[in-house]
Amino acid sequence: MPTLTRRGLAAAAILAPLAPAVARAQSWPSGTIRIVAPFPPGGSVDALARLAQPMLERSLGATVIVENRAGAGGSVGANAVAKAAPDGNTWLFVFDTHAVNPSLLPNMPFDSLKDLDPVMLIGTAPMVLVTHPSQSYRTLAEVIQAGKERAGGVPYGTIGNGSLGHLAMTLLARRAATGFNHIPYRGGGPLINDALGGHVPLSIASVAVLAAHLTAGTLRPIVQTGAQRAATLPEVPTVAESGFPGFEAEAWWGVFAPAGTPAPVVARFREALAGAFREPATAKQLTETQQIKLLATGPDELRTFFASQMKIWGDVVRENSIKAS
């Protein structure tokens, strides 16, 4: 029988605690995989989950279901995942509200940093400030000047109170020393209906929500909020280019798992998901229809990004006493 050297014993001691996790990863998946989309069907998070679903089933050899658990800006579904067993059978797809909720909803029954492990930053997309063609606004400078001259500020609509669009416009108002009058809607559908009808002078939403209307010319873009101009909107300037260096507010989509999900399982799921999103037909759908810049990063990148988003928008919420409703 071979004699273990001191180095071999040390290596065995290091690897021993990893053995159960490796074993679980090798036997996973062992049941139905559940992807929780914490918003109603039809939204961007739901669309991403259902886009990946069939390819995940093929890649992992398991049944994958998408479960919509809507409520409280995505926190209801996130709470369900935070309290689920960390066995690799439950995953959470989120939108940018996930980084806002900890400051906007102080009584959430889970800790976003401690109870959920990062898996993947799927991608980002700029928001776009738009107006109805009947309005005279064509530049951000004109909007800012109107806000200074109009009592109560220029009205603008968003998908809801505390949404990223609301926070971005609040931050812009402070930096520009101007006035905006926020009109919150209950989602993108009602917002777009009023924007198309000319009932609200300005609207801000993700480019994914607005893309078809920008292409059709039924809404006119004024400025976009990304760090650089989106490839699909090369003629539309950014806020940073328009006199506010460093200004950036991008919608984003990510994936989390219950805290303690074995790292090898997370790695295997992330690899399968990245492969699904990089399939040519799927990638085209993401970049052209959803207007998302595909990143498909690993957990470390999402962890850093998520912490920065919580800090930026948490400060805006607190400094401006923004409430969920």
Q: Cα(307)–Cα(79) distance, rounded to whole angstroms? A: 18
Domain boundaries, the chain: 32-125+251-319, 126-242
Q: How much is the pLDDT for 66?
A: 98
The full DSSP string for 140-200 is HHHHHHHHHHSTT-EEEEESSTT-HHHHHHHHHHHHHT--EEEEE-SSHHHHHHHHHTT-S
b/e per residue 67-104 (b: at least 16 CB within 10 A): ebbbebbbbbbbbbbbebebbbbbbbbbbbbbbbbbbb
Answer whether residue 190 shows pLDDT above 50: yes
Answer whether residue 82 shows pLDDT above 50: yes
**pLDDT digits over 106-146, tens only?**
899 999 999 999 999 999 999 999 999 999 999 999 999 99
In this prediction, residue 325 has a pLDDT band, given cuts at 50, 70 and 90, of: confident
The 3-state DSSP class for residue 62 equals coil
Do the domains 126-242 and 32-125+251-319 match in fold?
yes
Write down the CATH number for the domain with range 126-242.
3.40.190.10
Contact 204, 125 (CB under 8 A): no
Task: Tell me what percent of the residues of the chain surpass a pLDDT of 70.
Answer: 92
The rounded Cα 152 to chain-centroid distance in angstroms is 31
Cα Rg for the chain, rounded, in angstroms? 22
**pLDDT digits over 13-64, tens only?**
555 555 555 555 678 998 999 999 999 888 889 999 999 999 999 999 999 9
- In sequence order, what are the residues at sequence separation of 6 or more whose Cβ sits closer than 8 angstroms to the Cβ of residue 300? 118
Q: How much is the pLDDT for 187?
A: 84
Contact 37, 68 (CB under 8 A): yes
Q: How much is the pLDDT for 20?
A: 57
Task: Tell me what percent of the residues of the chain surpass a pLDDT of 90.
Answer: 82
Answer whether residue 261 shows pLDDT above 70: yes
Q: Cα(93)–Cα(37) distance, rounded to whole angstroms? A: 5
The full DSSP string for 305-321 is HHHHHHHHHHHHHHHTT
Please tell me the number of Cα atoms within 13 Å of 172 on its side-chain side: 34
Whole-model pTM: value is 0.88
Q: How much is the pLDDT for 18?
A: 52
Answer whether residue 1 shows pLDDT above 50: no
The 3-state DSSP class for residue 257 equals strand
Q: Quick one: which of 63, 76, 73 has its CA closest to 43?
A: 73
Q: How much is the pLDDT for 3?
A: 52
In this prediction, residue 8 has a pLDDT band, given cuts at 50, 70 and 90, of: low
Q: How does the average pLDDT of the chain come out, rounded? A: 92
Q: How much is the pLDDT for 77?
A: 97
- 116 compared with 209, residue with greater pLDDT: 116
Average pLDDT over residues 228-240: 94
Domain at 32-125+251-319, CATH homologous superfamily: Bordetella uptake gene, domain 1 (3.40.190.150)
